Every structure is written in structure tokens, then in C-alpha cells.
Structure 1
Amino acid sequence: MDLRYFDVVDATWPPYAITRTGPWLIREGRGGGKRVSAASAADIAKANDIPQAIEAMRALGQQNLFMLRPVDNELDQALADRGYEIVDPVHIYTCDPTQVGAGDIPAVTCFETETPLAIMQEIWAEGGIGPNRLAVMARAKGPKTYLLGRTQDRAAGTALVAIHDGVAMLHALEVLETFRGKGLGRYLMRAAARWAARHGAAELALLVTRKNAPANALYASLGMSVVGSYHYRIKENAE
């Protein structure tokens, strides 16, 4: 798979800081979730000093958490041998934004904002996306927009889209549970794709856990393709 997607993730859903420590990239997440808190191999051939990464994460007060790409097979096995368990396998989807954006969007359904409105923050909060993840969104550089989705005369969905290196990546798509299954997620995806195309992105990409069956079904139905994957390994008890 094309490893540049991982650079896009770091740019559009950025940790508070990324530090190079020997052969490792150490992410400081400050409560923003696994994506911004996991250590990963900066040098595939030399990422064998696992205690060095553990010490760096311990210094930040973070869990022993590693992100494994398809090229990290030896590291993946080494962590498994140390008792690290797989958690949250993730699919990377991508598509031509003009393809996804071609469908209809009913009037007064999707809106773009430069900053997240209070109602958007409330929708995210109901989905478990709180202030620490909002801080991640605020750190995203380059072109970006927040999307607000409406259905049945009320705000019911939201998402973030940001561009890096020609790839627009959608994050934090959330629709209130009461309004799911009514097409709003599809309309937000179309709005994201149209914004991406207007801003020169050649691709629209996103990340979703494999176990999220409804989301995977939506993205497949839009013609998006899985182009890669990754997973985490975690050890609850400190080494």
C-alpha cells in the first residue's frame, strides 16, 4: 500500500507533537485518542528497540500503544511475542471525489463552516468526541472545513475534512443515533467530496474500524475502495 496515507493522517488529524526518538515516531496525544497517541516505526529496518519506545511513551504518561502498518510485520510479531494484543484494525478508504460528489444533496441539508458551531460540538459529544478530539481538529493545518448536516428540520450530523499532499481526508463523521439510516451520512460524504474537488484534492480518503459494519457498508456503496489497513497493539500492564 502507499504509505503516504499515514503522512496525510498525521497532518489532517495531528498529535500535539511528534518526536523522533531513535527509530521511533512518538506521538503525544493529550487525550485525543489512539491515532494521535500511538508510537510507530520511523525506520522499518531498525525499529527493534521496543523498550526505548516504551520509555518515551511512559515519559508522556501514555499507554504502551503501537501502530502497525502492513510493512511492519517483524515489529508486529515482536510485539505479539511480548504480549501485546491487537486492537481496532482499521481500513483506509479512498475514491475520486468527483465520483462521490456527483449525487444529489437536498437543499438546506449540508453547510460548510470555518469553525465548529456549538451544535456541532454537541453532536460530536453525543458520539463520544469531546474537547480533546476537538483540539486535534483545531490543530489541522492547510485547507479544511467543518460540515454540518441537517435532516427533518434539525441539525443532526457533522464532520471534518482537511487536505494534505493532494488528499482530502474526512474525519469524525457523526450522525445522531435517532437520525441514522435516513441518508444524512451519504449527503455529508457528497458535500465533503464536492469541497475536496473544489480545493484541488485528487482523492477523498477516510479511516474506519473494520468492526463498524454500517460505516463500511456506506463507503462501499459510494464506490470507495479499501487501499490499505493498519492496526494497533496495546499492553495494559506496564512492562
Structure 2
Amino acid sequence: MISSLSFHAALDRTWPPAEFHVVGPWVLRKGNGGGKRVSAATANFMATVDDIPLAVHTMQKLGQQPLFMIQSKDSMLDSALDKQNYKIVDPVNVYIKRVSELTEVPIPHVTAFTIWEPLAIMVEIWAKGGIGSERLQVMHRAAVKTGILARWNQKPAGSAFVAIHNKIAMVHAVEVLPEQRRQGVAGWIMRRAAVWSKENCAEKMVVLCTQKNIAANTFYQGLGFRKLCSYHYRQSLENK
């Protein structure tokens, strides 16, 4: 099992922000529209209530609304933000599995391919799932990476993105077309991701999904992923 610290380091390297800014006890991220993961502030040691204005001011200078990622170590910060009317947004479950446990089943021929750079059809599939150009820029910033294109019923079926840091493979942006769902496509995507990850020396695979996405949580649990940790965001309603 990896530590929560190792996971968050891998998250920053496999889904990288455009910029990092270390200010006092904070690591701030400039996301350029790439979503919460690349835009949130995290505390790199015990931040207190007195440190919150520094983070808020710096995020506003970066042109972003104040947003904090709260990890398990951040209970005091979580309480302080709650008292300042920062509400919980998008609680996320983090799941982990050994890469080798996903490479034992042969993948049917012409079912899932690793491709980089993304083909136009992959970009189109992502766009249909709300994954646009800003998140594609996030993908391009990762170092060791690939895309996955799945086919089913002789047609394009899904796309995903995989990147590796420190032997941890993280699978992001899994998107299956509505008409191709409930046919095992996502499972083949994950197995292809595992094969590529093993070829590139990764030992563990990590995936994320919001707690409210019951279907995704059930899917990953069904594949044998175990919960590693969870996190959530705090966002002020006044700044939303």
C-alpha cells in the first residue's frame, strides 16, 4: 500500500497544473480552467486559520476563485474553513490496486489501444463527456503518459488517459460513449491501462471518483480496487 503523501505527489505529476506557487504553508496551483484538481490550494504543513487570508489573496491574484483541497491530515484547517462558510464540494474516493492483478486476463483483439498523441475521435469522445481543451492541456503536461482508445461492436467506444509517477499509474478521464456502456468496455480500458503501466514499470494503479458517482464506485470495487483514502474541496459560496 502506498501512503496518502505518495498518492498526492503522483496526482500532481500525472494531472499537473500549469503552475505551482509555494507561499507560506500553502502549495497553490494555477489550473488555467483545467478543473478543481489543478486549481486547489493544499497545506504543505500545519496551516492555521491565520494563514487562510494569504491563500485566498494569492489565488485571487492568480485569477482564480479560492478553493482548498482537504486531505485526512487537514482536520483543523477543515474546521476553520467550515466556520468561515467554506462548504464541502465534490468528496472524492481514491482507489488502488496492484497493476499485476489487472494484466492476467487477455484483452480481446482490436478492443483497446494505447495511443499518444490523442486521435481526433478520442478528443471527440472526451468532449462528449465534458472533458475539453483545458483538460487536454493538463494531459499534455504529464511526463510519462498515454491515451487509450477502446472499440466495441466495430465502433469507437471510449477514451482514457494514463500517466505514471514514481511507479504509480493513475488513470484519468475515463469516458465511455452512452451507447457503448454496460458492455464491459470500461473494464477493457482499465486492463489495457494496466498492461501499458506494467510495461512502463508501474506497480500500483490508482483511480479517483466522486463519492456521488455510485456507478463508478461500484465499477472500481467490482474490479477489486481497494479504497486508499478520500479528500474533498472547500469552496466559499460567496466566491463561487
TM-score by length of 1: 0.96
> For residue 126 of structure 2, what is the amino acid of its counterpart?
W
Aligned to 1:105: 107
Report the Cα distance in structure 1 between the residues aligned to 2:39 and 2:219, rounded to whole angstroms.
Answer: 28
Give 1:34's aligned residue.
36
Q: 1-side partners of 2:49 and 2:140: how far apart?
A: 31
Match in the other structure for 1:10: 12
| Paired residue total | 238
Aligned partner of 1:207 in structure 2 is 208
Matched, 1:136 2:130: no
Once the two structures are TM-superposed, the CA of residue 164 in structure 1 deviates from its matched residue by 0.3
Matched to 2:224, the amino acid is G
In the aligned structure 1, how far is the partner of 2:149 from the partner of 2:198? 18
Partner of 1:162: 163
Tell me if structure 2 keeps the 8 A contact 1:23–1:47.
no
Structure 2 alignment gaps of length 5 or more: none
Q: Tell me which of 75, 89, 92 is aligned to 1:90.
A: 92
Equivalents in 1 of 2:225, 2:50: separation in Å? 35
Number of the residue aligned with 2:119:
117
- The yes-or-no answer on 1:145 pairing with 2:146 is yes
AA aligned opposite 1:214 = A
TM-score by length of 2: 0.96
CA distance in 1: counterparts of 2:239 and 2:229, whole angstroms:
30
Work out whether 1:76 is the aligned partner of 2:101. Answer: no
Contact map agreement 1:64 1:236 (CA 8 A) in 2: no
CA contact (8 A) 1:100 1:223 kept: no
Please tell me whether residue 230 in structure 1 is matched to residue 198 in structure 2. Answer: no
Taking the aligned partners of 2:209 and 2:64, their CA distance within structure 1 comes to 23
How far off its partner does 1:218 sit? 1.1
- 1:47 & 1:178 partners in 2: Cα distance? 49
Map Cα deviations across residues 14-40 of structure 1 (whole Å, 9 max, x no partner): 000010011101100000000000011
Q: Which amino acid aligns with 2:155?
A: R
Deviates more, 1:29-38 or 1:98-107: 98-107
Calculate the aligned-residue CA RMSD, in Å: 1.3
Q: 1:48 touches 1:75 (CA, 8 Å); kept in 2?
A: no
User: Is residue 93–residue 224 contact of structure 1 (8 Å, CA) maintained in 2?
Assistant: yes
Indicate the SS of the match to 1:105. Answer: coil
* C-alpha distance 39-47 of structure 1, shift in aligned 2 (>3 A): farther
Distance 1:15 1:188 in 2: 25
1:82-124 deviations in whole A, cap 9, x for unaligned? 0010011111111111112222321100011121110000000
Task: Give, in whole Å, the separation in 2 of the partners of 1:130 and 1:47.
Answer: 36
Which amino acid in structure 1 is aligned with residue 90 of structure 2?
Answer: D
Following superposition, the deviation at residue 208 of structure 1 comes to 0.9
One-letter amino acid of the structure 2 residue matched with residue 126 of structure 1: K
| Distance of 1:130 and 1:8 partners within structure 2 | 22
Q: For residues 60 and 225 of structure 1, do their structure 2 counterparts lie closer, same or farther at Cα, with a shift above 3 Å needed?
A: same
What are the within-5 Å matches in structure 2 for residues 43-62 of structure 1? 43-44=45-46, 48-62=50-64
Tell me the CA shift for residue 47 of structure 1. Answer: 7.0
Q: Is the 8 A contact 1:147 1:188 kept in 2?
A: yes
Identity value in percent: 46
* 1:194 Cα deviation after fit: 1.1
Q: Distance in 2 between matches of 1:103 and 1:237?
A: 50
Matches of 1:75 and 1:124, distance apart in 2 = 35
Deviation digits for residues 132-153 of structure 1 (CA, Å, limit 9, x no counterpart): 0000000001x21110000111
Give SS of 1:136's match.
helix
Contact 1:166 1:201 in 2 (8 A): yes
Please give the alpha-carbon distance, in whole angstroms, between the structure 2 residues aligned to 1:94 and 1:238: 34
Task: Measure, in 1, the Cα distance between the counterparts of 2:33 and 2:237.
Answer: 16
Which amino acid in the other structure matches residue 173 of structure 1?
A: V
